[in-house]
Structure 1
Amino acid sequence: MPNEINMVVEGRRIIDFQYFFDQIKIINNHCEAMGCTIDNLQLIKEYKTGLKSIFITKCNMCNLEFQLLSSKSSNSDMDINCGAVTGAMLTGFGRSNLNELLASMNLPIFTQNIYSKCHDQVAKWWKEAAEESMQEAAKEEAAEAISCGEMKDGIPVLTVIADCCL
């Protein structure tokens, strides 16, 4: 069987080093019977999603294929893409500003679709955190009003001051 040509990865990538290294250790001696090692792996494809990559490798001895992920895929934690979009949002960047920064570092850029999905996820997290924080603050204010005896018809009375800013 002819050897497939190794794909060349252009540019830089951000990886979760320990996770990536652990994956490499797992596939290093993947077929001891044939003597396969990491030296027999060829990079054949890369799938990019924003700053996350999935590298597809193939052993030129046993023909097994393996995936190497640049970082863990988790729906509960903030991944590298949402982290980058969060940073962009916090600094007043939009997608084009973020992409300019990434391109200047020779890193993959965000498509509108990936950026929008992350932006929506981050906005949802912020909304949930703000609502939780406001509810906690209201409970604390009500408890303070009760302890000070500021009640009307059994309801804590809170003083609210607004400065008319939008």
Structure 2
Amino acid sequence: MSDRVRLKGRFIKKKVRDKQVKAVAAMREAHLSKNVPRSPPNLKFSFDGRRIVDMQYLSEHLKCIKCKKDIFLRNTVEESRMGLNCILNISCEECSTLTRVHTGKMHGTGENKNRVDVNTKAVLGAVHSGIGETALNKLLVCLNVPPISANLYKRYEREIGPAIEAAAKDSCREAAKEEKQLVIANVDKLCQEM
């Protein structure tokens, strides 16, 4: 009796095939057990530091995606961050479903989708006040808020750059119009001074 069997046109050992069959059965079992309500996970997650949160947005989205019951921050299992925005995985006390909740609004279209308002506003504020990524992160560290990466800062800086340029051009046009109107209105005074 041979210890090899044919699988998908190739010969493999029976032990290897049996191992693969067991792995597939385990994956199938795990997939089926996901739909069965289970007890809440062992919650040992704790937040380090402070976060910037849009309270109105967060309060509207603290609902289980499955049973639509209220979920609570104390049941947070995991946190991931996108700059200053947090994405919380919160377990429902009723059905144990994990719900992903953002702490702020998202915006954007096309290649700029999945942009976060708080990141855009922080970078805009930094540019407007004349500080860069390093100074912004120094401020955040003093506030005990996790800093943002240089790459993320640059990405949002590229997003707001065209808007800042457009606003500057509009401002210059308005100033030129106003100056022209003042010159026309005061042409007699200007001629007398010369």
The alignment's TM-score, normalised by the length of structure 2, stands at: 0.60
Does residue 152 of structure 2 align to residue 114 of structure 1? Answer: yes
5 Å matches for 1:87-102? 87-102=125-140
Worse-matched range after superposition: 122-131 or 76-85: 76-85
Equivalent residue for 1:104, pick from 142, 148, 167: 142
Instruction: Give the match for residue 92 of structure 2.
Output: 59
* Aligned-pair Cα RMSD in Å: 3.4
5 Å matches for 1:14-163? 14-24=52-62, 27=63, 31=67, 38=71, 42-75=75-108, 79-137=117-175
Alpha carbons 2:72, 2:90 under 8 Å: kept: no
Query: Which of the two has higher C-alpha Rg?
Result: 2
Cα deviation code 1:15-66 (max 9, x no counterpart): 1111111112xx169638xxx6536973122121111111111225423221
Q: Distance in 1 between matches of 2:65 and 2:159?
A: 39
Task: Mark the CA change 1:125 to 1:114 in structure 2 (over 3 Å): closer, same or farther.
Answer: same
Task: Mark the CA change 1:44 to 1:5 in structure 2 (over 3 Å): closer, same or farther.
Answer: same
Structure 1 unmatched ranges of 5 or more: 149-166
Q: Distance in 2 between matches of 1:144 and 1:37?
A: 61
Name the aligned partner's letter for residue 130 of structure 1. Answer: A
Q: Distance in 2 between matches of 1:46 and 1:138?
A: 51
Q: Distance in 2 between matches of 1:92 and 1:40?
A: 36
Alpha carbons 1:85, 1:115 under 8 Å: kept: yes
Cα deviation code 1:68-111 (max 9, x no counterpart): 21111012898211221222223332111111110111102110
The alignment's TM-score, normalised by the length of structure 1, stands at: 0.68
Task: Mark the CA change 1:63 to 1:135 in structure 2 (over 3 Å): closer, same or farther.
Answer: same
Alpha carbons 1:102, 1:109 under 8 Å: kept: yes
Count of residues in Structure 1 that have an aligned counterpart in Structure 2 = 145
Alpha carbons 1:47, 1:54 under 8 Å: kept: yes
Cα deviation code 1:98-139 (max 9, x no counterpart): 111101111021101110011122222111112233345556
**Which is helix-richer, 1 or 2?**
2
2:156 match: secondary structure = helix
Alpha carbons 2:79, 2:88 under 8 Å: kept: yes
Structure 2 unmatched ranges of 5 or more: 1-37, 110-114, 187-194
Q: Distance in 2 between matches of 1:82 and 1:40?
A: 25
